[in-house]
Structure 1
Amino acid sequence: MEAVRQRIERQVLGLTGLALGQLDLRNPPGDPGLFGPASICWQVHGDFTAMMIGGIRALLLQMLHPLALAGVWDHSNFRDDMLGRLRRTGQFVSGTTYGSTQDANWLIDKVRAIHARITGELAGQPYAASDPALLTWVHVAEVSSFLAAHLRYRNPSLSLAEQDRYYAEIALVAERLGAREVPRSVDEVQAYLQRMRPALRCDERTREVVRLLREAPAPSRLARPMGQLMLNAGMALLPPWAAVLLELRQGPLRRAMIDLGVGCTAPLLRWAVRDGSAHRARQRMGLATR
């Protein structure tokens, strides 16, 4: 069984930022990083299944903002390297959550430097990846998706106070990147998303992102069905207004089947990767695993 577990773990970790080999979340011992083991961030970001599903939802939401999409479309090779983008995003999230203070600062400085080089124009409207308003949009779309997936597939009992605490904690990363007026509670996040809706749209580029996600090659035959399930779950988790905008509405029976599939798959993945980065981080801190 251990050989089977290790094979699944290798396949799963190949999809994450750990595959880039630039961070060691076990070292240095005793450094709690930006948040530490008592944080809600460690809980919410600690489950591979929920984070994958939340990441897909986040990408779909983020790409509804024309200027956010333009920055990625014009200045990256994500259309040819979806897996690479997934790994780089995973590296940033895991490194700023579970990494050492030094690694977290390195990742934040690295992303800020990349953002500083990304500028352009869309239909006569200038954009910059370092724009505080765009950074806030990308952040809220991301962390609200992580929390939504955690509540659906990992811990639906997470209290409202703990959800507020999560948003307040993780705002630190957004602000370090240059975001401003970052929502710090469930109510503030929901109000912010409602305010942003008039600025969002689904155009040809957005639909191309959806197509690329649907057709993205899996890194292996073993990962293909899992990847398709995660994609469908991420789409099913979209807010109703976003699903309508993206033409990705799913009926109750379809959503129930997806939830059943995730419910059957998630325990296997948790057994195989032992809660992924959270497990390794707890080892680094000398804590018992749960």
Structure 2
Amino acid sequence: MSNGVLAPLRRRLSRTFAGQSEGVPEWELALEKGDDAGYFPPDSVTWRVHGGMTPIVGGIRALLTQALNPGVLAGVVDHSYYREDPLARLARTIRWVFTVTYGDTAAAHRACEHVRRRHDAVVGQYTDGLGEAREYSANDPELLAWVHLAFTDAFLGAYEYVRGPLAPGLADQYVREWATAGELMGVAEPPRSLAELREQLTAYDDGARLAHSPRLDEVVGFLRRLPLDPLLVPGYRTLFAAAIDSMSDRHIELLGLNRQAVRHGLLPARQGAQVTLAVVGLALGSPGPSEEAARRRLARLGVL
């Protein structure tokens, strides 16, 4: 495809992901600054999994997985403006993930502290899966742990769904590497292997901590039909279907969905995602601005 054909798509994608249709956001350019190589080197599995376009599917899957926890869901519904500004949370999530991945250690700490400060005001009550009223705080260790599990599972799962399985041992390495991000966010015992990740995910499904509810239906329905620029809607629906298709049967069941009901387009979900992400990659270019800024910092420090 020519640049002329891709230009309208590039502008709309940039506005969706970065909040501006032209240029590179200042926070991405700032990743060039810093005094060390950061927590994750260029040859890390974290750079591999978070690079490219698969984090788009991973982000959708992470939001859906997080919402299975009624405490996390209550925080989103009660304290965010997801209906009025549906892309703001996505943009903040992207900024946090890429800053921790590509920034120096000081930038990673600042990003995590910023999120934790925002969480201070996110408190309230919710009803758990057993019908019991419970207090919640976004900085509660149990909720922080679920969010970390959801991120780790989603980004790794999306990468392997779209790109194919990692070589033996690399999935374990990714979980072990990304445990650092969990610790920076205050997670006490993040998983350090794929087996531990799956074990901790399963442990949350105890009848109380994960649950289906009318409130979940509302949020999932909104995410399924996100009010995007019309040019982006077909691609997003394809990627939403892929995010669902990549999830475990149990999590799909808890969401109240099924793979066939959300399928979009003529291609099977995986192939549809591969084609869609390839077009997005052509429009946005690769590597992305965050990785390029990190590489400039690493070159200045003599790491590369």
Give TM-score, length-normalised by structure 1: 0.89
CA contact (8 A) 2:145 2:182 kept: yes
For 2:107 and 2:34, locate their aligned partners in 1 and report how far apart those are by CA, in whole Å. Answer: 13
Task: Rate the CA distance shift 1:283–1:233 in 2: closer, same or farther, 3 A.
Answer: farther
Where does the alignment leave 5 or more consecutive residues of structure 2 unmatched? 128-132
Equivalent residue letter for 2:80: S
RMSD: 2.4
Letter in 1 for 2:258: R
Query: What is residue 234 of structure 1 aligned with on the other side?
Result: 243
- Matching residue of 1:130: 139
Give secondary structure in 2 for the equivalent of 1:210: helix
Counterpart mapping for 1:242-257 below 5 A:
242-251=251-260, 254=263, 257=268
Distance 1:266 1:25, change over 3 A: farther
Describe the superposition over 1:173-219 as per-residue Cα deviations: whole angstroms up to 9, x where unpaired.
Answer: 1111111111111000111111111221110110011111122211x
In structure 2, distance between residues paired with 1:77 and 1:252: 28
For 1:54-203, list aligned pairs within 5 A. 54-123=58-127, 124-154=133-163, 156-198=164-206, 199-203=209-213
> Offset at 1:254?
4.8
**Does the Cα contact within 8 Å between 1:25 and 1:95 map onto a contact in 2?**
no
Q: Counterpart of 1:258? A: 269
Residue number in structure 2 paired with 1:41: 46
Q: 1:281 aligns with which of 279, 282, 294?
A: 294
Secondary structure at 1:69's aligned position in 2?
A: helix
- The offset of 1:13, in angstroms, is 2.8
Offset from partner CA, 1:91-130 (integer Å, 9 cap, x none): 1101111123332222111011112222212243111111
Q: Distance in 1 between matches of 2:248 and 2:295?
A: 33
- SS of the residue corresponding to residue 124 of structure 2 reads strand
Structure 1 spans left out of the alignment, 5+ residues: none
Kindly, what percent of the aligned residue pairs are identical? Answer: 33
TM superposition shift of 1:70: 1.1
CA shift at 1:43, angstroms? 0.6
Distance 1:65 1:26, change over 3 A: closer
Q: In structure 2, the residue corresponding to 1:173 is in which secondary structure?
A: helix
Q: Any conservation in 1 of the 2:52–2:281 contact (CA below 8 Å)?
A: yes
| Counterpart-to-counterpart distance in 2, 1:190 and 1:82 | 30
1:187 counterpart SS class:
helix
Provide closer, same or farther for how the CA distance between residues 113 and 254 of structure 1 changes in structure 2, counting only shifts above 3 A: closer
CA distance in 1, matches of 2:213, 2:72: 13
- Alignment coverage as a number of residue pairs: 284
Matched AA of 1:177: M
User: What TM-score, normalized by structure 2, do the two folds share?
Assistant: 0.85
- TM-fit CA distance, 1:31: 4.1
